Amino acid sequence: MFVKQQADELIQAVTYVKENLADKVEELAAKVVEAFKRGNKVILMGNGGSAADAQHIAAEFVGRFKKERPSLPALALNTNSSTLTAIGNDYSYDVVFSRQIDGFAKEGDVVIGISTSGNSKNVYLALGMAKRKGCFTAAFLGKDGGTIKDICDLPLIVNVKDTPHIQACHIFMAHCMCDLVDQAY
Ligand SMILES: O=C(CO)[C@@H](O)[C@H](O)[C@H](O)[C@H](O)COP(=O)(O)O
Ligand SMILES: [Zn+2]
């Protein structure tokens, strides 16, 4: 039965996260807490379903997650259609995020790219720009981590094939990160 097979595959993917990525999620949460406590911010970005994830995670910080705590500064670079269409139209879609990193990112910020293939060029260029600006860079990736795994400080690679299962694991890890940040306040 299809749904039961999918459930079994998802359990395998989450088990992969539990066995291979739990420490990295805690490491990223610690970096995010340090950044917020210093007065820095978190910047996220992704394409398609990962754009939705980026915007979802930013909202958990700016609004609230599970408990009352101060609003924490986070933004998703894929949410402003005027900015995206202007940069895409005047320059290229490849630089829709890196151009915004150039404008918004400050030394000490945490910049998180999300890409299931690990190969989205706009995410790749944004993380490179963020590194040059003195940010800590992390990426939620999938498959073999693609090109992005080599240009960020902390790649979290869900090494499974199915894109929706990778996305489900990304949002699971992100929610764990949000919970750990809550616990620091
Ligand atoms: O949500 C899905 C697939 O589940 C799609 O919208 C998917 O996010 C898009 O094809 C993205 O453009 C894929 O980009 P990436 O994850 O490889 O960086
Ligand atoms: Zn999807």
Q: pLDDT at position 96, please? A: 98
The gap from C-alpha 48 to its chain's centroid, in whole angstroms, comes to 13
User: Is 167 annotated as a binding-site member?
Assistant: yes
d(CA 182, CA 177): 9
In a domain, 14, yes or no: no
In a domain, 18, yes or no: no
d(CA 56, CA 100): 19
Domain count, the chain: 1
Question: The complex's ipTM?
Answer: 0.99
CA-proximal residue: ligand 1, atom 1 (nearest) = 49
Q: What are 38-56's pLDDT values in tens digits?
A: 999 999 999 999 999 999 9
Q: How far is the CA of 164 from the centre of ligand 2 (A)?
A: 6
CA-proximal residue: ligand 1, atom 6 (nearest) = 48
Domain region containing 145: 23-183
φ and ψ at 114, to 5 degrees?
-125, 120
Q: pLDDT at position 71, please? A: 98
- CATH number of the domain encompassing residue 51: 3.40.50.10490
- Among 10, 44, 45, 50, the mutation site with the greatest number of ligand 1 atoms within 8 A of its Cβ is 50
In a domain, 17, yes or no: no
Contact 44, 57 (CB under 8 A): yes
In a domain, 56, yes or no: yes
Q: How far is the CA of 136 from the centre of ligand 2 (A)?
A: 27
User: Is 50 annotated as a binding-site member?
Assistant: no
User: Is 115 annotated as a binding-site member?
Assistant: yes
Q: What are 133-145's pLDDT values in tens digits?
A: 999 999 999 999 9
